Chain A
Amino acid sequence: MNRTEREAAVRRLLEQRPPQVPVELYDDVVRRGERVLRRRTAARRVMWLVLFAAAVAFTVWALTVRPWVEPPSQTTPPVSGW
């Protein structure tokens, strides 16, 4: 038996006795698929929420602390009236 014949024999063997597709398969699939989609939506929402909260927190911090303003000098007293 050469290679092609053997492959054909194995193919015939594989095609034997196909299983019955259960009727509830489709509903199961849709239920699980919907769950995956819902989870993805929730994860996306949480991500945006965290991003938004971080942006707001940064803005509030920046406006209260004002890190770009030069801090008052601690060593030299302010010179005035000369």
Chain B
Amino acid sequence: MRERQVSRGARRAREFEAFVAGAAGRLLHAATLLTAEAPDDNPRARRLLTLALAHTYACWDRLRGEDPYDRTRRHLATRFAREAWHRRGGPGRTRRRPPGTLASLAPQERLVVVLRLYEGVAEEQAAALLGLPADRVRVLCDRAIAALTHPAGRPAPAVRGTEVASS
């Protein structure tokens, strides 16, 4: 009995290590994009990823055929959304501009862009994950794409809205 438990633990550790080796790079990139940190200085993204992977580790035996990558990504996204919501009105509002690629976007726009374009999650799934209507996700994605492709001088929201609707 004890031996079987030990061997199961070893197999579990091997499987999990292989999963982390394969998925950590991509997930860390996604997390760094989310937090808009520089690629070589991303403590927040590392923390997010560590917590999400630890959660996956804890429920590794109860996945029952579910994709661990998807599970980790979902946990990462919801945790980031919650953190962004909490720091929105926090005391430290004097924030310096983060140096990352998506620094010009709001946290929610970053989430949508990363999920839709970097991770290739379907619109409905992203909407369900974020608790938003699918239309809202599409609008956020369009707005973020517009802001990223024309970085100089983001147009006013009303103008941008008609532009998106007409195209």
Contacts and interface: CB of A to CB of B under 8 A. Distances in A.
Max chain B C-beta neighbours (<10 A), residue from A10, A11, A20, A35: A10
A30 interface: yes
A30 to B, nearest CB: 6
A36 B52 CA distance: 12
Contact of A37 (B32, B45, B58, B102): B58
Contacts of B51: 32
B32 A19 contact: yes
Contact of A19 (B13, B20, B45, B50): B45
Interface in B102-149: 102, 113-114, 117-118, 144-146, 148-149
A13 B42 contact: no
Contacts of B113: 10, 14
Interface residues of B, number: 37
A6 to B, nearest CB: 5
A55 B32 CA distance: 51
Interface string B48-78: 0111011111100000000000000000000
Contacts of B21: 26
Interface string B26-62: 0011001100000110100110011101111110000
B101 A13 contact: yes
Interface in A8-64: 9-11, 13-22, 25-26, 28-30, 32-37, 40
15 contacts: A3-B145, A6-B145, A6-B146, A10-B113, A11-B118, A14-B33, A16-B101, A17-B39, A19-B42, A19-B45, A20-B39, A22-B46, A29-B57, A32-B54, A34-B57
Interface of A: 1-3, 6-7, 9-11, 13-22, 25-26, 28-30, 32-37, 40
